[in-house]
Every structure is written in C-alpha cells, then in structure tokens.
Amino acid sequence: MTTTDTPKAMLWTGRVLSGLFVAFMLMDLTMKLLDLPVVAETSRQLGLPTDQARLLGTIQLICVALYLYPRTSVLGAVLVTAYMGGAVETHLRVGSPLFSHILFGVYLAVMAWGGLWLRDARLRSLFPWRRL
C-alpha cells in the first residue's frame, strides 16, 4: 500500500471507510458462521438453501482477509464486489426494496473501493478523479 503520496486527511478518511466496511462484513459473516436463527429465516425469505449460510460466511471471511492484507487488497475488493453483485441479484429477484436492500451491496462495494482508493496513490493514478 502506497501511503507516501497520500495526504493525511485522505488516508484517515480511507481508513475509516474501509473500517466501516470491514466491521459490517465481520458482523455479517459471524452471524452466518454461527448459524443464527435470523440467518436461516432470511435465507428462507430469499429462497436460498438454509444449510449454505456457513459456506457463504466462509467465502466472505476469505474475501475480507484478502481485502485486509495490503498485498492482496485489490483482489479482495474485486472478490467482494463479485459477492455483492450476487447479493444485489438475489434481492432484485425476490422484489426487495430498491434503496434499502437491492442497492445495499452496491453501497458496501463502493465503501470497499472508496477506502482503498483514498488510501492508495497507485490506485488513484490508475483510476483518477478528473474534473470536466
């Protein structure tokens, strides 16, 4: 992670954004790994097999671990984005509300990428923010 070319405020904003993303993901994957009743009920409502919650939690754990390790953080963000795409499709399929459920995966992916972008000058040079 290149932080030498990153202003302090930008670096800390990125850390906070990434921290919020990771905190949510850890809460969610912990609920799945513990196989809490709310997870089984939500799985039923979404039309998902209830016995696969632990598998989904394990996939999330791997994605978050890759995201947290600086050398693989971009790979982790890519995998999290793919995972969230599946969540978006699942909510879209069952007719969940748009802004609170369907787009929630998009919000999380934006937080993950936004945190990385703010913290890493190399990523900012690859995806520059330009004024028109």
Given pLDDT bands bounded at 50, 70 and 90, which one contains residue 90?
Answer: very high
Contact 111, 14 (CB under 8 A): no
pTM: 0.91
Distances, alpha carbon 16 to alpha carbons 21, 44, 121, 126, in Å: 9, 34, 17, 22
Contact 47, 94 (CB under 8 A): yes
Q: Give pLDDT, residue 1.
A: 52
- pLDDT 10s digits, 43-69: 999 999 999 999 999 999 999 999 999
Is residue 106 scored above 60 in pLDDT? Answer: yes
- pLDDT 10s digits, 36-47: 999 999 999 999
Mean pLDDT, to the nearest integer, of 65-87? 97
